[in-house]
Amino acid sequence: MGWLTKDRSAPQQSRSEALACIPVKNRHVREQRLDNGEVVVLYPVTVRPWMATLARWLGVRAAPPRTAKLQLDRLGSGVWGMLDGRRSLRRIAAAFAETHRLERKEAEVAVSQFIRELGRRGLIGLRPDSAPGWRASGREAKHRPVKRP
């Protein structure tokens, strides 16, 4: 038998700490609510810095920032509506579990995956619970429209 054959490297942030984080929307993001209750998120997408540099180097005008759309389904729209900058991931997951009568762990995983995906697109930032003076600026810089070369 292969007992303990795999290493369990210690996570950088415990599950408890991660769930205590508060998701905060990027203030450059706009949203539209459709008739069916689903939400469309509109967010600025800028050209990547290395492409801007390349364009400048080639003497080509880089593409102007454009607005991307992300349509959330019913579940995603529900979670998006709960992002008020005050509720922690734990509270959002608990509310999500209660609304849809899901297992607590399943709701935590679903909400975490969704939040991670929003974070990857720069639509939200995560504020540690212990940082009351924190401002949602870290992730915003990524989607601030870049200056044209």
For position 106 contacting other proteins by CB under 8 A, the verdict is yes
CA-based nearest residue to 138, from 27, 13, 21, 15: 27
| Residue of the chain from 72, 110, 124, 126 that contacts other proteins (CB under 8 A) | 110
Work out whether 101 is an interface residue with other proteins (CB under 8 A): yes
With respect to other proteins, which residue has the nearer C-beta, 4 or 141? Answer: 4
DSSP 9: P
- Judged by beta carbon, residue 22 or residue 47, the one nearer other proteins is 22
Q: For residues 63 and 146, what is the distance between their CA atoms, to the nearest angstrom? A: 10
Residue from the set 32, 53, 71, 113 that interacts with other proteins by CB under 8 A: 113
Task: Report DSSP state, residue 73.
Answer: -
Matching residue, tokens 């950088």: 12
Q: In what order do the strands lie in the sheet with 66-71?
A: 30-33, 39-45, 66-71
Q: How far apart are CA 63 and CA 54, in angstroms?
A: 12
Residue whose structure tokens are 């995603």: 76
Considering the rule CB under 8 A, would residue 2 count as an interface residue with other proteins? yes
Number of residues that bind other proteins (CB under 8 A): 26
Q: Does the footprint of other proteins cover residue 7 (CB under 8 A)?
A: yes
Instruction: Decide: is 116 part of the binding site for other proteins (CB under 8 A).
Output: no
Residues that bind other proteins (CB under 8 A): 1-5, 7-8, 10-11, 14-16, 19, 73-75, 100-106, 109-110, 113
